[in-house]
């Protein structure tokens, strides 16, 4: 019986266009049968969940684009995939984690869980830096933020959609904060742009500059700049908070820059120290020149260096030593040139300004409570996003735009904020979220996208607002029913598969039947 089930499963997969390409890739890989089985299961789950995923989220890449990308990532970046059982001897290599990704070896070690394996495939395929090096520190921290967010985004189609329902379990999201930030950016600039940025191999293009132009052009220069700066600050703080290796590097940078700035405070001492360094380097260059041009001194240097070196690091010949000395000489000349730039009065101010610019993000680490600072920045980002969304709504002109925005904003409201609550349950955001919802419902009614159930806007909002707080896949198939029990009016949303709980929207004393444009106990579609 089990074999028949497996045969049926494989048959379903084989019928898919992408399967032949996947099989060709797997033929060239030394993956065991268990790995191949998990990969096939992974693609099957993407297949069955994709339709609902696209309906709920709207702005996503096509199913073919997603599947083709994953196949190419397996082909190009996965030489070894090893699946290990939890608490087994083999799992000790990944410690208390559920996976290990080694990009340099193109190796994945992972629990045999489809969504974990997909996350690893997405992770191993990313460029470490997708932002130009000229953006000090941000080139690493913002790259990490976007890459992690995209990895989580890739997994969502099979994590939250099973072909029957849309269910988000916060503990299954690798990082709730990274996901929230990424989804906000996706809604603001679009999925296509973020994918081009993250999977970009044309390093000539400055995508961060394009992103900043996009935000400031569409949402205002002052407001857009504020969001961008908050995003950069978040990227630094989150890198320090969630990546131990990055934290060490950033703290070291902070210390070095603070030391240089402190030196600059005492300009006389600063100039004297640089002058002393120049004198010392000049002496070293003079000594190298004399040594290279004097065979006796060259032999003495050769013997002196070899006596201090272990056997495996010995210098094999005087000719090699001469070459080493010339390279050292070039290094000292470069260092002197840097010191001259620092001593140049015209370049001194530029040097100081550059240091202060670099310190701009590093001083964030002086915060007494980084977690609290991250939460503050994330909340501020949501408030900015909600203002931007109001602008987007004002510009919407067509019925389809409003339908898309209702789905999009419903999705936003349901994004987890932490392990216990979604965005629409965050008290400090509820006023702003409710404002956008009211405007959406009002405009949807004006454009005859949805039925108007009361001419009183506030009452109509109370009757319809739960379209933003439910997980029914197809909102266009949602019905509303109004009932009266005791002294309360109740509204209930449902489709053929899902029934939402009844919610009171007013007291009989405050609402007349004349205020309602819907018959009692009658099912009526919300969307026209």
Neighbours of 447 (CB within 10 A): 17
Q: Average the pLDDT over each of 65-69, 129-133, 294-298, 498-502 and give the range with the smallest value.
A: 498-502
**Residues forming beta bridges with residue 484, ordered by sequence position:** 489
Predicted confidence (pLDDT) at residue 338 exceeds the cutoff of 90: no
What are the tokens at 365? Answer: 């680490």
Confidence of residue 267 (pLDDT cuts 50, 70, 90): low
- pLDDT score, position 305: 84
> What average pLDDT score do residues 230-251 get?
92
Place of tokens 């260096």: 305
Q: Average the pLDDT over each of 234-248, 344-358, 405-419 and give the range with the smallest value.
A: 344-358
For 80, phi and psi rounded to 5 degrees?
A: -135, 130
Cα–Cα dist 9/58, whole Å: 28
- pLDDT score, position 156: 98
Predicted confidence (pLDDT) at residue 232 exceeds the cutoff of 60: yes
> What average pLDDT score do residues 266-285 get?
80
Q: What percent of the chain has pLDDT over 70?
A: 93
Helix (H, G, I), strand (E, B) or coil at 515: helix
Cα–Cα dist 85/128, whole Å: 29
252 contact partners, CB below 8 Å, separation of at least 6: none
**pLDDT tens across 88-112, in order?**
988 889 988 999 999 999 999 999 9
Cα–Cα dist 528/512, whole Å: 25
**pLDDT tens across 425-481, in order?**
999 999 999 999 999 999 999 999 999 998 899 999 999 999 999 999 999 999 998
Confidence of residue 165 (pLDDT cuts 50, 70, 90): very high
Q: How confident is the prediction for the chain on average, in pLDDT?
A: 89
Predicted confidence (pLDDT) at residue 302 exceeds the cutoff of 50: yes
**How far is residue 207 from each of residues 90, 201, 203, 268, 511, measured CA to CA in Å?**
41, 11, 9, 42, 54
Confidence of residue 195 (pLDDT cuts 50, 70, 90): very high
Residue 139: burial class (beta carbons within 10 Å; 0-12, 13-18, 19+): middle
- pLDDT score, position 266: 62
Predicted confidence (pLDDT) at residue 393 exceeds the cutoff of 50: yes
Question: 463-489: string of b/e by CB count within 10 Å (b at 16+)?
Answer: bbbbbbbbebbebbebbbbbeeeeeeb
Report strand pairing: 107-110 vs 479-485.
unpaired
Largest Cα span, the chain: 111
- pLDDT score, position 448: 95
Model's pTM, two decimal places?
0.82
Sheet holding 107-110, edge to edge: 80-83, 107-110, 99-102
CB 384 within 8 A of CB 159: no
> What average pLDDT score do residues 132-145 get?
93
- pLDDT score, position 352: 67
């Amino acid at each position: 019986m089990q074999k028949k089930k497996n045969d049926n499963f494989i048959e379903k997969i084989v019928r898919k266009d992408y399967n032949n390409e996947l099989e060709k890739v797997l033929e060239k890989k030394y993956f065991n049968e268990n790995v191949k089985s998990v990969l096939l299961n992974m693609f099957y789950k993407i297949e069955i969940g994709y339709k609902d995923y696209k309906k709920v989220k709207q702005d996503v890449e096509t199913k073919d684009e997603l599947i083709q990308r994953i196949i190419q990532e397996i082909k190009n970046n996965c030489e070894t995939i090893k699946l290990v059982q939890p608490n087994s001897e083999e799992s000790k290599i990944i410690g208390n984690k559920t996976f290990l990704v080694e990009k340099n070896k193109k190796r994945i070690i992972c629990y045999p869980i489809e969504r974990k394996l997909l996350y690893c495939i997405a992770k191993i395929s990313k460029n470490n830096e997708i932002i130009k090096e000229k953006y000090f520190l941000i080139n690493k921290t913002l790259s990490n933020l976007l890459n992690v967010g995209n990895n989580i985004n890739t997994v969502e189609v099979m994590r939250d959609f099973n072909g029957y329902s849309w269910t988000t379990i916060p503990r299954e999201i690798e990082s709730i904060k990274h996901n929230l930030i990424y989804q906000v950016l996706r809604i603001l600039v679009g999925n296509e742009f973020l994918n081009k940025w993250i999977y970009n191999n044309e390093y000539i293009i400055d995508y961060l500059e394009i992103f900043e132009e996009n935000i400031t052009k569409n949402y205002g220069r002052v407001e857009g700049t504020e969001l961008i700066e908050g995003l950069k600050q978040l990227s630094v703080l989150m890198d320090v908070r969630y990546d131990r290796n990055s934290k060490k590097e950033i703290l070291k940078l902070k210390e070095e820059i603070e030391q240089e700035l402190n030196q600059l405070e005492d300009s006389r001492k600063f100039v004297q120290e640089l002058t002393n360094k120049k004198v010392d380097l000049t002496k070293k260059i003079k000594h190298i020149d004399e040594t290279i041009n004097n065979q006796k001194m060259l032999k003495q240097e050769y013997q002196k260096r070899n006596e201090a070196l272990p056997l495996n690091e010995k210098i094999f010949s005087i000719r090699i030593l001469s070459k080493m000395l010339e390279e050292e000489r070039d290094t000292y000349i470069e260092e002197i040139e840097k010191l001259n730039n620092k001593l140049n009065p015209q370049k001194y101010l530029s040097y100081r300004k550059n240091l202060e610019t670099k310190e701009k993000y590093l001083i964030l680490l002086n915060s007494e409570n980084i977690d609290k600072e991250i939460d503050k920045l994330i909340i501020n980002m949501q408030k900015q996003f909600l203002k931007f969304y109001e602008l987007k709504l004002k510009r919407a002109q067509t019925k389809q735009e409003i339908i898309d925005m209702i789905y999009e904003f419903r999705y936003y409201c349901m994004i987890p904020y932490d392990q216990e609550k979604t965005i629409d349950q965050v008290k400090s955001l509820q006023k702003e979220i409710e404002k956008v919802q009211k405007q959406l419902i009002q405009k949807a009614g004006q454009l005859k996208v949805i039925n108007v159930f009361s001419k009183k806007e506030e009452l109509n909002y109370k009757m319809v607002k739960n379209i933003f707080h439910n997980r029914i896949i197809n909102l266009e198939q949602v019905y509303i029913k109004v009932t009266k029990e005791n002294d309360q009016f109740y509204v209930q949303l449902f489709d053929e598969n899902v029934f939402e709980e009844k919610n009171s929207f007013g007291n009989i004393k405050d609402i007349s039947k004349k205020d309602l444009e819907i018959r009692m106990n009658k099912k009526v579609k919300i969307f026209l």
